[in-house]
Amino acid sequence: MSEAHRNFASAVDVEASAALWLERRDRAEWSAADEAQFDAWLAQSPAHVVTYWRLEGAWDTADRLAVLRGQELDDLTPAYKSRWPMLMSMAAAVAIIATIGATTAHYVLAPRERIYATDVGGHESITFADGTQIELNTDTVLRAQMTTAERVIWLDRGEAYFQVKHDAAHPFTVIADNHRITDLGTKFVVRRDRGNLEVALVDGRVRVGNGGAQSALLAPGDDAVATATSLSVTKRDAQDITDRLAWRRGVLTFKYATLADAATELNRYNAKKLVITDPAVARLKIYGTFQLRDVDVFARAARDVLGLHVKDDGNEILIER
């Protein structure tokens, strides 16, 4: 068999598989397990992605043409019931005129949503094709739909730092709960934690809103905290914002923070937790910079500097008088 014939046979196989997936996804019994298998098939090759979305687009166009021709709903129903033969015919026709190489350029047009996540203590950097960069902090989950048509991020949990490549024709939006952060040429950090959403702006501008009357246009140094019912903005100095982002360098900086707040922050990065049960001890202040993953050093500082008693049971470190 010649190389051309092998390429043609491969293209037909891909088209047939794409048609099968399109037919399966139209069934009422489509499940999460089916979706996982479908995603795995798409991930095997850019040709799978391109072929599937092209075939789906061709089917949608056929539907629209049928309606434009004035067919009644009763006339269309049998077509849906017997769409498999038509799908295979479409797939074969497309395979004849298409090559994988010619369609790879359209890969970026496929509307795929990707999930990125970090474990406790994790840190991951992502760079997208448009030049936008995102850094994920500890225990963070976000979903991204970055195409030539739209740029949308859903922050489901945790914290992320954004350096957005501005494109006025294609706004960049971060969605968390019911809040939307819209980029206007920006570097900013978003944290979703304990029912609150916090947005600190490093450079540029962003608009924060919840789809209702509450919204704010942030300037550099602004720190916005949003809840389901409120939105407040506080101006921070440049050093405060730098300290706020110290996790990007692998450290946390505390400037007269309460021991309770410092312990809460460190606990975000560690399976081994700091525990403070005495309210008086919790209100004590601490100043210093600590490695994200070194709760033992923090406990020793509490013992040596504040004169507290530290008890390490392996899974927790109890700090008390």
Residue-level pLDDT at 230:
87
Residues in the chain with pLDDT values less than 70: 1-12, 25-28, 46, 50, 52-112, 211-213
Residue-level pLDDT at 41:
80
DSSP classification of residue 106: G
Can you list the alpha helix ranges (DSSP code H) found in 69-202?
73-81, 83-97, 100-103
Span 250-320: which CATH code?
3.55.50.30
Amino acid 45 reads S
CB atoms within 10 A of CB 35: 11
**CA 192 – CA 195 distance, rounded (Å):** 7
Please give the CATH architecture assigned to the domain spanning 114-242. Answer: Sandwich (2.60)
What Å distances lie between residue 263 and 192, 269, 276, 317, CA to CA? 18, 10, 8, 10
**CA 100 – CA 107 distance, rounded (Å):** 11
Q: Any idea where the domains of the chain sit in the sequence? A: 3-109, 114-242, 250-320
Tokens coding 227 = 């809840």
Residue-level pLDDT at 75:
45
Same CATH fold assignment for domains 114-242 and 250-320? no
Can you list the alpha helix ranges (DSSP code H) found in 156-291?
238-244, 259-267, 279-282
Tokens coding 180 = 């939307």
